Amino acid sequence: MGELIRARGLDTAVGILDASDRIIPSYCASACVLAYAGGKARIGIEGSELGVHRFVTTTSGQDPVAETQRTAGAILGYMTKMGVSPAIVEAMSETRDVHWLSTENAVDMHLITARAETLPTIPR
């Protein structure tokens, strides 16, 4: 999904546009972060949250260590292609629970590439 978002040149943000055209903070966790990473610009909305966690692979008779390494490699390759720091994979690996990234961490990892203040008026 993230590659499709990028191919279309779309920006991504985590928030909800209300009836008054105000952006209300929201959250994006787990696989949502992979889609968010596809944005040409990845906009940080004040108060919104991005959460990552350890990826889980399901294996049926295969070597679980090898499968986990393949998955980690695929995620690392994708995030690198999207311009996100490899440090994101380390953050993902830290816990099975959702690890909510601070805005500073997300900016340092190049997961957030723009701030909401730079958003143009959203047409209806």
**pLDDT of 24-63, one tens digit each?**
899 999 999 999 999 999 999 999 999 999 887 776 667 8
Question: Residues 47, 89: contact at Cβ < 8 Å?
Answer: no
The alpha carbon of 91 is separated from its chain's Cα centroid by a whole number of angstroms, namely 12
Pick the CATH number of 2-118 from 3.90.226.10, 3.40.640.10, 3.30.70.80, 3.60.15.10: 3.90.226.10
The whole-model pTM stands at: 0.86
User: Could you give the CA distance from residue 52 to residue 45 in angstroms, rounded to a whole number?
Assistant: 17
Please give the pLDDT value at position 121: 53
Question: Residues 108, 87: contact at Cβ < 8 Å?
Answer: yes
Please give the pLDDT value at position 124: 52
On the CB side of 119, CA atoms within 13 Å amount to 20
CA distance readout (Å), 12 to 2, 9, 87, 93: 10, 10, 20, 24
